[in-house]
Structure 1
Amino acid sequence: MARHIFRPTRYHNTLGTAEPCLRIADGDTLVAETVDASGLDANEVAVAARPNPMTGPFFVEGAEPGDTLAVEIIRLTPNRRTGWTYSPLALTVLDPAAILDRPKQERAIWEINANEGTVRLRDAPAALAGFTPPLAPMIGCFGVAPAGGEAISTATSGAHGGNMDYRRFAPGTTAWFPVSVPGALFYLGDGHAAQGDGEITGTGIETSFEMEVRLSVLKRRITWPRAETAEEIITIGNARPLDQALQHATTEMQRWLGEDYGLDARAASHLMGMVVRYDVGNVFNPAYTVACRVAKKWLTKA
């Protein structure tokens, strides 16, 4: 199995059927640079593709419609010492009455200290003096080309993946995407140095990254994105309103428990009713994201 190092010269602001930038074999490791949508930065070229410029697409040999692409997230390394966010809170997460008192939007710069493993707000208000959250790199937007020749904006998400902004898409997690076109056509980007649940200011700490992932083809069919860590299995629903995203994630979890763990609908309901945990991913962009988690300690392989 090979290890590919890819330095992009062009980016995409849609996930769709485009000319592959690189063809790789099933099981290969990919190291790829990604950029944020900051425009002209002192250490990078101007980025024309907005929002969420994607690196790719990568053609994975052997991936066919009906398969699943497994993306093992090995390493996410920020390429800059700074990143940026916006404030205040997004319109989508505030009571309507509170919007009247919302301050104007401003961009803030954060210092990224890889040695200390922290981030710090530059020019922080006095109330946040000493506020140094942990550096916690994650992938905000990644996925595969959707079916039917569509090209879907990287501002949103769907069954193909996309802009999910889910904090557990981090090193140690393997994400699964349903393959709809030959080669899967995998894209990745939108790296965040840190972010709370929901991306509730409209950004994480946006910065450029070097991302290392391993891409593998699974000869199985899924409907919505899935993920796996050492401790949990996770299903992802992307839709709006929020309850529809939750329905997609919950239904996909019930399917998974039946396929791999031998639980019929009634048995799955008993287990899920007691141990399911839900997370909120993106609630800023057009489609919202909900994750449904079950700890592996409750499961026995069928």
Structure 2
Amino acid sequence: MIEFRPTVEQYGWTFGGTEPIRRVRPGTVMQLWTDDAFAGRLRRADDRPSQLLDIRYTNPQTGPFYVEGAEVGDTLALHFVSITPSRDWGVSTTLPLFGALTGTTRTATLQDPLPELTWVYEINQEKEIVTFAARDSEHRIDLPLEPMLGTVGLAPALKEVRSTAVPDYFGGNMDTPEMRTGSTCYLGVNVEGALFSVGDGHARQGEGETCGVAVETAMDVTLIVELIKGGAPAWPRIEDDENLMVVGSGRPLDDAWRVAQVDMVGWLQELLSMGKMDAYQLLTQISKSPIANMVDPNFSAVVKVAKDVLPGIQAYGGMHAHLRQLAGALH
């Protein structure tokens, strides 16, 4: 077991282009701490992001970690044993020229930018609630605490260096609520050692992350690292006890949706030993397609297939079930 809490100087701000901070072996249990997307700089309702943030330094990553034996074309499996807030508060904001329901630098309009505002949420882990407090009224609404990680990713191929704001084939800022306790994420290895990083904890987030900012907070993360030789997926895959999922990212949104659908067609071909057109037809009847986020430089879409309609399948040789068993033994 490895415990690691980065100093501010050790935060990663990109996927790729950063030297690994630790080497780990497959099978390692890691207890990590991740800072929030704003690195703790926003704490009060009167804080203004434009005064306190440098947009180049958001979504700080814990990592990257070099996985021994990982080679290009392999599959890295990260199983999330637990993801729990390490603070009793979180923040959300609206940012000028950012979000799904405003003009942006990529969708330019003549409308004025929306106002720059900050909301502070109370987090009660004992009651498992997150409390929304309205700014312009006395409304307070208790919401379920549903911790997740917004960013999980590897170094990209071709020596690329990508911002932690961007989701793509290597993972990154996918912002899907499916990246939660009990999930296993499968990522294709692009460089020797894989170089994985995690961060951007959300106490909760609705599908789509409409304004662009969830309930951002620091997290304590326990995960298990495993390596599958070969079989690298083209796009990030997630498995939990109920579903198989693929996350596609791109712009426009329909392209993100398409790449996720195409990869799921391929996955069904592998799992069921069926032809492409049969897999396409089957997926049409059984899939669900939640939007992960519609606000990053790339959008992210998820395709989900319930495992109970595909009895007896074993993705990656039953890796998820194996890691769930190991996770259970840790408690």
Letter matched to residue 191 of structure 2: V
Note if contact 1:90-1:200 (Cα within 8 Å) is conserved in structure 2. Answer: no
Name the structure 2 match of 1:20: 20
Name the structure 2 match of 1:191: 201
Question: Deviation string for 1:42-97 (max 9, x for gaps)?
Answer: 8xxx9987210001011111111000101101111111111100138976533779
Name the structure 2 match of 1:158: 168
Q: 1:51 to 1:40 in 2, by over 3 A?
A: closer
How far apart are 1:262 and its partner, in Å? 1.2
Supply the distance in 1 between the matched residues of 2:306 and 2:41 (Cα, whole angstroms): 43
- Equivalent residue in structure 2 for 1:7, among 5, 8, 28: 5
Supply the distance in 1 between the matched residues of 2:109 and 2:129 (Cα, whole angstroms): 32
Question: Deviation string for 1:236-276 (max 9, x for gaps)?
Answer: 10101101101110010011011122121122122111111
Supply the distance in 1 between the matched residues of 2:97 and 2:241 (Cα, whole angstroms): 33
Supply the distance in 2 between the matched residues of 1:232 and 1:239 (Cα, whole angstroms): 23
Letter matched to residue 212 of structure 1: T
Q: Give identity over the alignment, percent.
A: 35
Letter matched to residue 2 of structure 2: H
Aligned residue for 2:33, secondary structure, equals strand
Q: 1:82 to 1:246 in 2, by over 3 A?
A: same
Name the structure 2 match of 1:263: 274
5+ residue gaps, structure 1: none
Note if contact 1:39-1:47 (Cα within 8 Å) is conserved in structure 2. Answer: no
Whether 1:182 and 2:192 are equivalent positions in the alignment is: yes
Aligned residue for 1:132, secondary structure, equals strand
| 1:1-302 equivalences in 2 (<5 Å) | 3-9=1-7, 10-36=10-36, 37-40=38-41, 50-87=57-94, 92-94=99-101, 100=111, 103-122=114-133, 124-126=135-137, 128-129=139-140, 131-219=141-229, 220-299=231-310, 300-301=312-313
5+ residue gaps, structure 2: 44-51, 315-331
Supply the distance in 2 between the matched residues of 1:100 and 1:149 (Cα, whole angstroms): 39
How far apart are 1:209 and its partner, in Å? 1.0
Supply the distance in 2 between the matched residues of 1:87 and 1:270 (Cα, whole angstroms): 41
Q: 1:65 to 1:33 in 2, by over 3 A?
A: same
TM-score, normalised via structure 1 length: 0.91
Note if contact 1:238-1:289 (Cα within 8 Å) is conserved in structure 2. Answer: yes
Note if contact 1:89-1:200 (Cα within 8 Å) is conserved in structure 2. Answer: no
Q: 1:277 to 1:41 in 2, by over 3 A?
A: closer
Note if contact 2:154-2:171 (Cα within 8 Å) is conserved in structure 1. Answer: yes
Supply the distance in 2 between the matched residues of 1:68 and 1:138 (Cα, whole angstroms): 22
RMSD of aligned Cα (Å): 2.4
Letter matched to residue 28 of structure 2: D
Aligned residue for 1:184, secondary structure, equals coil
Letter matched to residue 53 of structure 1: P
Further displaced range: 33-42 or 147-156: 33-42
Note if contact 1:35-1:209 (Cα within 8 Å) is conserved in structure 2. Answer: yes
Note if contact 2:99-2:212 (Cα within 8 Å) is conserved in structure 1. Answer: no
Aligned residue for 1:281, secondary structure, equals strand
